[in-house]
Structure 1
Amino acid sequence: MASYAEKPWLRNFDNNVPPSLQPYPDHSLHHFLIEAGTHHGDSVATLSSAHLPVVGRVKKTLSYREVNAHSDALAAALVDMGLQKGERVAILMPNCAQFVITFFAILKAGGVVVAVNPTFPARKIQDTLIDSGATMAITLSLFYEALKGVQAMTSVQQVIVTNVKEYLPGLAKFLFTVAREKKEGHRIEKRPDDHWFQDVLTRYAGKKPGVEVVPDDLAIFQYTGGTTGIPKAAMSTHRALVANSLQCIAWLSREGVEDIFIAAIPLFHVFGMVAVMSFAVAKHSAMLMVPNARDIDDVVDVIHQYRPTIFMGVPALFNAINNHEGVKAGKYDLSSIYACISGSAPLPPSTKRRFEELSGGVILEGFGMSEAPTASHVNPVRGENRPGSIGLPFPDMEMRIVDLDDEVTDVPVGEIGELLMHGPQLMRGYHGMPTETANALREGPDGKLWLYTGDIARMDEDGYFYIVDRKKDMALIGGFNVYPRNVEDVLMEHPAVREVGVAAIPHPD
């Protein structure tokens, strides 16, 4: 009989994946960008593109040398504007070159990134800014007015604004200015006290921030609604993000291959932030920027034209590609894709099977949390992918499944309980929420700090893990525990069902 302490999952690692990556390098997350800019400066960092009538798709690239230099300049500006080490800076942007520059600039300046979903209602943006205590914000012009509408209620003192066209190719920039900028709300009247992104980069070109950042400094506040619906900021360090970036590299990398990432899932979400951006920068790989993953025409055209090899996504995105008329008609070539990781929701077997048929690559179902940013489990690239499984824990991860009632006793292998994890990428805690932090991070009988995930799971004899449901989603019906995930799996077997969600509601009296 296997046990959690024996780590049976190690037996099923791909041959090129080591059981441990210890010791992890003792440096900041932005050190990856500095290394890329210094030693791989000519390599493409970001590729921004647009499809134009008649002309077709046009592109503009930034090299790692340019991204590193731009982030240095912006970091120097932030320090000059008064940013103190440990203060929070909000980013309100979709996927674009400016996001990458801004993210690493904040880290270089000693700040903490608060990546805000820019499509949030103004009230939710306000709540995030207030809770985080952000003192500065860097925003796309499209979201400038929403930010300015709530700024007075927050701690934000400095605002930098950028326009989406700044890193578009020349002809696309011209056409955007003429036909779309004003119509779609990108053209704004900047307030006198605020700053244009490009003006800042020009003014501080060649300068560096001169701030010492150590691995245990905080890097991000990542907001998670959790099961209660109350947003919590999971605080994570440079050390944690470096560790998870290297775990991703160990799991997916191939010798002698220069991977290209498609950045379709939002970089403001921890999945995109770590498993796309940080992973790509650590490998000095190119990122193909897709500002809106719901624009499936754009997604498939980017894949067809620029040949990405790594694709992180969610089941709904893979499903939408499967059902795209042009893809079904064979007009788009997806064969460059080597590996995908699917997260955030259960991956229907039919979606996995069809996408793999179309691309020739493999979709690996995985699992991760904002509290352990970002991935903790993934199915192996070359080994067995078990249906319904989130796969195997990453190197250096320890797992337990404990009794749902006493929350301490390990359940026998194969039985369900709450999933606990221990590893190098655990968060430090929730910002300003000591009770929630104490509930999530608890010292075990072994003296180690364990993250209580709130997920009901089981492990099989070979170390593959399966998520049954969220602990708080479990319904008690007729004296039996019923898990919405199980009902969803049955409904998904019907050929007429594309997506499904199940929730429990009280039975009327």
Structure 2
Amino acid sequence: MADAPFRNIAELLHDHAAAQPQQPALIQGGLRYSYGELNALVDRVASALQRDGVAPGEAIALCGLSTPLQAAIFLGALRAGVVVAPLAPSVTPADFAAMLADAQARWLFVDATAARLVPGLALPLCIALDAEAPGRAFESWLAPPGSTPQPVTLTPEAPFNIIYSSGTTGTPKGIVQPHGMRWMHVQRGAAYGYGPGKTTLLATPLYSNTTLVVFFPTIAFGGTVVLMPKFDAAGYLALAQQHRVTHTMLVPVQYQRIMALPQFGSFDLSAFEAKFCTSAPFSATLKRDVLARWPGGLVEFYGMTEGGGTCILEAHKHPDKLHTVGRPSEGHDMRLIDEAGMELPAGEAGEVVGHSPGMMAGYHGQPEKTREAEWFAPDGKRFIRTGDIGRFDEQGFLTLFDRKKDMVISGGFNIYPSDLEAQLRQHPAVADVAVVGVPSVEWGETPVAFVVHAAGDATPDTELRSWLNERVGKTQRLSDVQTIAELPRSAIGKVLKRELRDQYNKETKA
């Protein structure tokens, strides 16, 4: 399928339903949809949307936990050419209302986890996916059994979904991904052994691009997806053993929690072929541990939901490059630029920009934000800016230093929080840490560390600060260390540094 002509991913279900109607497609607990059952349900969803006049290119919104029904609705919308805006049930009511309005969603599908977000909103038609959710019952809305939708012809440029950014640095933006971008993910999947008889375990939410870059290739190649609506490390390992899982996508904090389990070695994980990771910094130490103790390959993807360029590190093939995020994927053009937008020569550090066949159309309804995210080469070639600072080595492997927006400029010197975080993690008292820049009258900005202590540890914050400051340059020294029970993270494990910064500023002004 690597060179197969473009198709609507949802249409591939017809092929699998005909070839292997009894093959499990989606599993969650005791609920299973075979490919025959899934294809029939997807037809009924698409038919209901067409019956109700939802036209190709218009949007629906999905909000709830990851379930086979959520996945079937997503696929049904795609079959009808309808754009899907999957929304997180953990957001604030204000952000939820803003995203729903931004997507211009014709229909909203919600489960009980999203019920708190709905009251008081001027809603489109609301469809309830369980008895505790508001709106019309899904079964009464669904088209009758045996319904088949009118065929829809789509181009690679047609919008596939609107993924809302995590909001780690501000108000979430709607990232419009076209069908061609998702098809690129499917084609890339040909190298990783997806297919009938292979099983993918997903413990990240379906509203996250992290999940979808593995979910759709699994379905496109006729494999089985096991959904875990709420992650816990021991439960994940039990499912992996039970279902003889071959593929998975996890974010670094999930790998960290799994590898830390004392009983990790008691689970049979021998069926694993490919483990993927993306979305947050993945330390070389953790990669090395996964490679040593967990069977199967380990592949790190570095890129953005907005697309542009992707680096891939096949860690099992390059154990000497674990400090990097790999090399640009085939056909991906990735470059480094300076503050003035000038391309930098080899060996220098700068902001990473990328061009590839998989790029967002833009931020939904925000052309000015779209322009801010773009960089154009002198020949007019369009690139997406990542906001990450990095450097390519002589073999073309990319090492990342930090997020441009997270970089602390103190007294005119650039300080990379990731450097300080890596140093602090070497102290036995530190289980987790995040460094942020806060306002300083004297220096403009100054770095502050938020530390999660190891179990039972009571090392004073002042001692940790002194320990770190003795080991770094004068310009890198921390002005403060604060103990925190747990770092605030998004659903896919990104540390919400904006919340830490706001919390610190609020406390110091009080």
* TM-aligned CA distance change 1:262 to 1:395, over 3 Å: same
Q: Match for 2:223 among 279, 285, 290?
A: 285
Q: Match for 1:260 among 199, 203, 220?
A: 199
The runs of 5 or more residues in structure 1 that have no matched partner are 1-17, 50-58, 164-186
Structure 1 window deviating more from structure 2 (427-436 vs 446-455): it is 446-455
Q: Is this contact kept in 2: 1:339–1:381, CA < 8 A?
A: no
Q: Is this contact kept in 2: 1:234–1:429, CA < 8 A?
A: yes
Is 1:221 the counterpart of 2:162? The answer is yes
Distance 2:151 2:345 in 1: 53
Q: Match for 1:160 among 118, 127, 143?
A: 127
Q: Match for 1:141 among 100, 112, 118?
A: 112
3-state DSSP class of the match of 1:101? helix
Q: Match for 1:492 among 422, 425, 441?
A: 425
Q: CA RMSD in A?
A: 2.3
3-state DSSP class of the match of 2:347? coil
> Cα distance, 1:87 vs. partner?
1.3
3-state DSSP class of the match of 1:215? coil
Query: Mapping of 1:1-80 within 5 angstroms?
Result: 25-49=5-29, 59-80=30-51
> Cα distance, 1:508 vs. partner?
4.8
Query: Mapping of 1:155-304 within 5 angstroms?
Result: 156-163=123-130, 187-188=131-132, 191=135, 194=136, 196-201=137-142, 203-225=144-166, 228-250=169-191, 252-253=192-193, 258-274=197-213, 276-293=214-231, 295-304=232-241
* TM-aligned CA distance change 1:24 to 1:507, over 3 Å: farther
Q: Is this contact kept in 2: 1:132–1:221, CA < 8 A?
A: yes
Is 1:435 the counterpart of 2:368? The answer is yes
Distance 1:28 1:109 in 2: 10
Q: Percent of pairs identical after alignment? A: 29
Is 1:320 the counterpart of 2:257? The answer is yes
Distance 2:90 2:161 in 1: 20
> Cα distance, 1:268 vs. partner?
0.8
TM-score where L is the length of structure 1: 0.81
Q: Is this contact kept in 1: 2:196–2:222, CA < 8 A?
A: no
Q: Residue 4 of structure 1 corresponds to which residue in structure 2? A: none
> Cα distance, 1:400 vs. partner?
0.8
Distance 2:34 2:285 in 1: 39
> Cα distance, 1:147 vs. partner?
4.3
> Cα distance, 1:346 vs. partner?
1.2
CA deviation string 1:55-88 (max 9, x = no partner): xxxx332112211211110111011122122111
3-state DSSP class of the match of 2:163? strand
Q: Match for 1:368 among 282, 294, 303?
A: 303
> Cα distance, 1:482 vs. partner?
0.8
CA deviation string 1:277-298 (max 9, x = no partner): 11111221111110111x2232
The runs of 5 or more residues in structure 2 that have no matched partner are 443-510
Distance 1:493 1:389 in 2: 19
3-state DSSP class of the match of 1:127? helix
Q: Residue 349 of structure 2 corresponds to which residue in structure 1? A: 416
Q: Is this contact kept in 1: 2:402–2:418, CA < 8 A?
A: yes
Q: Is this contact kept in 2: 1:247–1:395, CA < 8 A?
A: no
> Cα distance, 1:435 vs. partner?
1.2
* TM-aligned CA distance change 1:493 to 1:379, over 3 Å: same
CA deviation string 1:163-185 (max 9, x = no partner): 3xxxxxxxxxxxxxxxxxxxxxx
Q: Residue 414 of structure 2 corresponds to which residue in structure 1? A: 481
Q: Residue 470 of structure 1 corresponds to which residue in structure 2? A: 403
1:35 partner amino acid: D
Is 1:395 the counterpart of 2:330? The answer is yes
Q: Match for 1:121 among 92, 110, 114?
A: 92
Q: Residue 84 of structure 1 corresponds to which residue in structure 2? A: 55
Q: Is this contact kept in 1: 2:9–2:183, CA < 8 A?
A: yes
1:272 partner amino acid: T
Q: Is this contact kept in 2: 1:77–1:204, CA < 8 A?
A: no
Is 1:457 the counterpart of 2:390? The answer is yes
Q: Is this contact kept in 1: 2:26–2:227, CA < 8 A?
A: yes
Q: Is this contact kept in 2: 1:29–1:239, CA < 8 A?
A: no
2:272 partner amino acid: I
Q: Is this contact kept in 2: 1:108–1:209, CA < 8 A?
A: no
